[in-house]
């Protein structure tokens, strides 16, 4: 017969193993420590003499798909609208163009480059895909990166990094992503 103390110890060990495997499976161990640290940092006191930075993030599926009228509207109308607004640093609103990989037209990337150079936004990745494996996804993104890099987009932010970008899935996604 197992003693009650040993039963409790085995139950506790089972809970620790279960929680640990869940943490690893969900990759919580990658961010939990820095999250917990920031919870205990002293909060910043508000100073009415200093501007407050408020960031808005709107994520859209930027799908020109060869429609010249849409491209023209972004190139001509967006800067005119954005110039009417600026923050306390004088910066205009910037748009994150989540450009669809599977609908890529390189002339669109070339036409959008001046908007990015003027600070009106940046190009990121949006991708409609399904039933991809690690290998097929890696090949697609690597191929797309070559095209984006040719136009000066998603360049590495660190010396040994192949690229720097944000990503949103389209209609389907990787299993468990």
Summary mean pLDDT of the chain: 84
**% of the chain exceeding 90 in pLDDT:** 25
**Separation of alpha carbons 169 and 173, rounded Å:** 6
132 is written with which tokens?
């991809």
117 is written with which tokens?
């150079």
Q: What is the DSSP string of 97-135?
A: EEEEGGG--HHHHHHHHHHHHTTSEEEEEEE---S--HH
List the domain boundaries for the chain: 4-39, 68-169
pTM beyond cutoff 0.75: no
| Mean pLDDT lowest among 31-35, 86-90, 157-161 | 157-161
Radius of gyration of the chain (CA): 23
Instruction: Assess contact for 125 and 99: CB atoms under 8 A.
Output: yes
140 half-sphere exposure, CB direction, 13 A CA radius: 18
């Amino acid at each position: 017969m197992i003693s009650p103390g040993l039963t409790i110890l085995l139950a506790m060990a089972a809970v620790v193993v279960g929680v640990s495997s869940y943490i690893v499976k969900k990759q919580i161990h990658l961010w939990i420590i820095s999250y917990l640290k920031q919870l205990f940092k002293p909060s910043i006191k508000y100073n009415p003499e200093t501007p407050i930075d408020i960031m808005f993030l709107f994520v859209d599926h930027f799908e020109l798909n060869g429609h010249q009228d849409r491209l023209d509207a972004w190139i001509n109308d967006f800067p005119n609208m954005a110039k009417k607004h600026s923050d306390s640093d004088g910066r205009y609103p910037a748009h994150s163009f989540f450009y669809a990989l599977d609908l890529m037209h390189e002339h669109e990337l070339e036409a959008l480059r001046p908007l990015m150079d003027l600070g009106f936004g940046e190009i990121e990745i949006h991708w409609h895909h399904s039933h991809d494996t690690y290998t097929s996804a890696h090949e697609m993104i690597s191929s797309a990166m070559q095209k984006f890099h040719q136009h000066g987009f998603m360049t590495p932010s660190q010396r040994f990094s192949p690229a720097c970008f944000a990503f949103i899935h389209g209609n389907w996604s990787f299993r468990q992503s």
